[in-house]
Structure 1
């Protein structure tokens, strides 16, 4: 099989005893965190629930991602009203996944939804997407019953676009496939800050290979580094903010090792379970110290965030091994 192939749909199968991220909005609180004048991260107070963002110009405001339900969308819009009197003119989806887009329809028609062309093209089967996200609701699946309309982006772009908010230009980038086919980065150049959705998280957090393998992802990261050399801070779709360079470095090292180890296992004729055991699990014992420090800011019970994140990363690593193994099939070259 072509190891550069990007499947049309997200991988539906999961490893045995897999436990993915809890994305239920129950207990979700979004804390506005000022990053620069008129630039706010809306940080979920419990990781790995979804983060959002608000960027404000002289004429208009922009929101990053819509939330997983109409109720979450309403809360995001309420925070915008608290932060500015500028009209909310733009909503950017960093990915097509429902936890980032199910709230699109709850935004007013005057708000233009923008994303990559690949993201819009992936938004075709609401019921399938709801079934996939239901696995991350942990008993709150009924909350997704409120999602009856999957509003697709009104405006799309291919590689790069700009949105002028008045005195502030926001850059939108699609560097290539990563977590999904259409990962979109929202960049505020003068603040050296970007919202990276599921493409890039804090260094030391496992990412998810849901539509494609390590090699296309690595090319995307290289393109991002080349295009945004001055980028300092990332606000990921999930988890704490982090240093952009450290995040790219850490994920690149992980993906390179994953690719090499799975390819070697397939060449040796190993089964999936044997490959799982053969591949290095960076989270088997502990987390990166910088990540532990970042997680301490969540004010959860002592050790809870660290233990929860390590367990999640171990599960995501198993998913990544499975995805890469299936992609290689009998031909790892």
Structure 2
């Protein structure tokens, strides 16, 4: 397999004992955080369930991601109506994953859905996507029965597009593959804020390499850093907001080490279990203090947010080792 080839589907294999992010919408309430008049992060009260966004100009409003079920989609639309009198005319999908897109069909037909061309091309097998996401529903998989149609984007772009909401410009970027092959970043220049979906999270959080590898991801991140020099804040698809360039730098450093360690292990003929044991683990002991501080804003039923996020980061790191190992052993 070449360095840049992206697998046709995300890896289905998981490490033993792996517990992925909880995507169930049960108990999910979105809380608005204002960056400016008309620009809001819609933050999940229970991380790492999905965050969303609302961006309004003089003439129209845009929603970032649609939620995993029609119920969540309707919650997003109710919040939009409360926060702005501008009509929602656009919906942007940051990824093709169902927790971001299953709610597309619950938006009115006149709302134009926009995403990267590659995201749309991945939205072709609803049954398979529901099967994949149900693994992270933690007993609430039956809620996905409400999803009977996967509405795909109406408008696609390759690397860059702009939407003028009337006095407020929104930039859409596809920097290349990352978590998935079509990751789309939504950037509002006047607030220096980006909604990054699964492409980029808070600097202290582990990411997921589901459909590619460290090398193409690194190239995409470097393009983002060059294209958005004034970026201040990112609103990820999951977890707390954070400093944009700190997040890029942290993920670049992580992916460089992941690549070097797994490549060396494969070259040495080590097994996957031996590779797990020899790779370093940034989350072996505790969370980054900046992430721990960010999580204090969340109220998580059943225990401290830090404890749950630490275990999730450990699991995601093991998944990243596995995904990279499988990719490199096939070269």
Common fold by TM > 0.5 = yes
3-state secondary structure, aligned to 1:80:
helix
**1:88-136 Cα deviation digits (max 9, x unpaired):** 1000000000000000000001100000000000000000000000000
Structure 2 counterparts to residues 286-301 of structure 1, below 5 A = 286-300=286-300
Match of 1:57 in 2: 57
3-state secondary structure, aligned to 1:281:
coil
**1:203-237 Cα deviation digits (max 9, x unpaired):** 01000000000000000000000000000000000
Match of 2:310 in 1: 310
1:7 matched to 2:2: no
Match of 1:18 in 2: 18
Structure 2 counterparts to residues 1-333 of structure 1, below 5 A = 1-300=1-300, 304-329=304-329, 331=331
Structure 1 position 299, deviation (Å): 3.3
* Structure 2 contact 195–237 (Cα < 8 Å) conserved: yes
**1:144-172 Cα deviation digits (max 9, x unpaired):** 00000000000000010000100111000
**1:22-65 Cα deviation digits (max 9, x unpaired):** 00000101001111121000000010000000000100000000
Structure 1 position 256, deviation (Å): 0.3
CA–CA separation in structure 2 for the residues paired with 1:127 and 1:174: 26
3-state secondary structure, aligned to 2:297:
helix
Structure 1 position 302, deviation (Å): 10
**1:227-252 Cα deviation digits (max 9, x unpaired):** 00000000000000000011001101
3-state secondary structure, aligned to 2:85:
coil
Structure 1 outlier segments of 4+, above 2 Å: 299-303
* Structure 2 contact 194–234 (Cα < 8 Å) conserved: yes
Structure 1 position 300, deviation (Å): 3.7
3-state secondary structure, aligned to 1:90:
strand
Instruction: Structure 1: give runs of 5+ residues left out of the alignment.
Output: none
CA–CA separation in structure 2 for the residues paired with 1:89 and 1:123: 22
CA–CA separation in structure 2 for the residues paired with 1:189 and 1:81: 23
CA–CA separation in structure 2 for the residues paired with 1:127 and 1:14: 20
* Structure 1 contact 266–330 (Cα < 8 Å) conserved: no
**Number of equivalent positions:** 331
* Structure 2 contact 47–300 (Cα < 8 Å) conserved: no
CA–CA separation in structure 1 for the residues paired with 2:330 and 2:179: 23
Structure 1 position 303, deviation (Å): 6.6
CA–CA separation in structure 1 for the residues paired with 2:242 and 2:37: 19
Q: CA RMSD in A?
A: 1.0
Structure 1 position 330, deviation (Å): 5.5
CA–CA separation in structure 1 for the residues paired with 2:330 and 2:91: 43
CA–CA separation in structure 2 for the residues paired with 1:5 and 1:253: 22
* Structure 1 contact 2–327 (Cα < 8 Å) conserved: no
Structure 1 position 8, deviation (Å): 1.1
Provide TM-score, normalisation by structure 1: 0.98
3-state secondary structure, aligned to 1:249:
helix
CA–CA separation in structure 2 for the residues paired with 1:86 and 1:215: 42
